[in-house]
A = this chain, B = another copy of it.
């Protein structure tokens, strides 16, 4: 088995990054929901004011996984880091790549000095829930996510 390595993403990884994001969306049954392009990833991740950071897993000079995260703010704990996506491409799973990316993210968070990291999981993704619980993370079963699209925002303002 070839060795993989974990490193910080570079702007030239943007195409691989968007491909992995697409692959995850498909797994989550939302493949039409990705409205970002490779150029968005370039601008948003590697421009003058990066909106996220990304670690990638490289195997045989190919990007086979990523951990994408950004800072958030808790009014209880101060600065936190949010793990937006942890992805390993389907044919490279069960080789420890996901765990290595996760551990690298946790090390980044410790170095950042944050008191908390957080992320979201689909409740039917039992393997992921089991993985995170075994790692010592805690699920918050009574929190629910709300979202509003730009169109819904405009409708609300027009009606008020």
Interface residues of A (CB under 8 A from B): 21, 24-25, 30, 33-36, 40, 44, 51-52, 68, 70-79, 82, 84-85, 99, 103, 106-107, 109-110, 114-124, 129, 132, 135-150, 152-157, 160
Contacts and interface: CB of A to CB of B under 8 A. Distances in A.
B76 A153 contact: no
B154 A147 contact: no
A22 to B, nearest CB: 10
Given A117-B147, A139-B146, A156-B136, A36 B77 contact: yes
Nearest to A43: B78
Contact of A78 (B44, B106, B115, B143): B44
Given A118-B145, A120-B146, A75 B79 contact: no
A106 B136 contact: no
A78 B36 contact: yes
A74 B84 contact: yes
11 contacts: A33-B76, A36-B78, A70-B72, A75-B85, A106-B156, A109-B153, A136-B156, A137-B152, A138-B152, A140-B146, A145-B145
